[in-house]
Amino acid sequence: MIASRPRKLHEYTRHPIIEGTRWNDYRHRPGDIVISTSYKSGTTWTQTIVANLLYQDGNLPAPVTTLSPWLDMTMAPAGEAVAQLEAQTDRRFIKTHLPLDGLPYFETARYIVVGRDLRDVFMSIWNHHSKHTAKVQQGHFERARALGREFPEFDDLHAMFRVWISQGGFAWESSGHPYWSHLHHTQTWWDFRHLPNILLVHFADLLEDTEREIRRIAAHIDVEIDEGLLPGILGRVSFGSMKKNFAQIVPDAAEIWKGGGRTFMNKGTNGRWRSVLTEEELEQCRTAVERELAPDAAEWLEYGGEGRL
């Protein structure tokens, strides 16, 4: 039976990339916006949309990832993201890759959760994983070794897929290694989608009608759009504009990925798996979805829609 109110069930800790205990130092302010994805589902896109809704003239006081720090990221020193947030006087918006069962829940927060088809997520995480700079790769390896874990390299996409689809990143997950489960993440939020402060957004819907989804997001976070500024907002959050101006969004991209922002903003499309994944691999995807998701959550994750009851 699903509880009437979300509660923290797991500590996502001792992982080379995410550390859930960093939320213990977070001091909530009513109105805080929390943007959650597993990964490669439109996180940075959604952060950029929210930034442009809060600063509709486009004059952001800092890069998007400075305004909206990834609170549970291990690559930054402990306390750095919390200090960034504490120093802010404007409305805050925070990035997390944690599922709802690993987060503190606040009724006065606004949560935006972004989903994407499992197969598209894999294609994007492969690009992300395989093009880390040597410095970032070494950091992952060293943190993993210090934790008694592994962060494997993979010779090709199919080798990574075999591990990613069948091994969990944490004991209560059954897919996602060496990261964490995209499917488990989805189900934890799906179970509470009826709550008025949780909004589900789908990557395919953002692609199909960006303006419609921006209006949904604005309504959810109680921001009134200046219609005269809307064309500028739409322009700045387009794939082409974000790719061109990525240094204003993620200023340290060149230190993280070979090719910098061009690598991170790779294609921005869905369906690339069709000519890549084998039928056996697609069947493994179907099995994983059936194992980890309720049927209605599975349908939403594949096709999108507003994610309502």
Would 5 be classed as within a structural domain? no
Check residue 188 and give its pLDDT.
98
Sheet holding 198-202, edge to edge: 93-96, 33-36, 110-115, 198-202
**Residue 8 domain flag:** no
Q: What is the dihedral of CA 228, 206, 296, 276, to 10 degrees?
A: 180
* Mean pLDDT, rounded, of the chain: 93
pLDDT in tens, 2-56: 778 999 999 999 999 999 999 999 999 999 999 999 999 999 999 999 999 999 9
Domain that includes residue 226, residue range? 20-303
Instruction: Give strand ranges (E) for 187-247.
Output: 198-202
Query: DSSP label at 77?
Result: P
Per-residue pLDDT at 248? 87
Identity of residue 73: M
Within 8 A by CB and 6+ apart from 64, the residues are: 44, 47, 48, 51, 248, 249, 250
Q: Per the structure, how many domains does the chain have?
A: 1
Residue 13 counted as domain residue = no
The answer on pLDDT for 265 being more than 70 is no
12 in any annotated domain:
no
pLDDT at residue 217 greater than cutoff 60 = yes
For residue 10, is it within any domain? no
CB atoms within 10 A of CB 114: 24
How far apart (Å, rounded) are the C-alpha atoms in residues 264 and 260? 7
Per the structure block, which two tokens stand in for 260?
Answer: 């910098």
- pLDDT digit string (tens) for 136-155? 999 999 999 999 998 998 98
Report the alpha-carbon distance of residue 246 to residue 265 in Å, rounded. 8
Structure tokens at 186: 């989805």
Model confidence pLDDT, tens digit, residues 56-83: 999 999 999 999 999 999 999 999 999 9
Q: What is the mean pLDDT of residues 260-269?
A: 59
Q: Give the pLDDT confidence score for residue 309 in this predicted structure.
A: 36
Give me the DSSP letters along 79-120: THHHHHHHH--S--EEEE---GGGS---TTSEEEEEE--HHH
In the predicted structure, residue 266 carries a pLDDT above the cut 60: no
Could you read off the pLDDT of 285-301 as tens digits, one per residue? 999 999 999 999 999 99
Residue 176: inside a domain: yes
What is the pLDDT at residue 307?
A: 53
Nearest residue to 48 via CA among 70, 29, 63, 31: 63
Residue 37 domain-assigned? yes
Burial class (CB in 10 A: 0-12, 13-18, 19+), 45: buried
For residue range 98-114, list pLDDT tens digits in order: 999 999 999 999 999 99
Q: At 272, which CATH number? A: 3.40.50.300
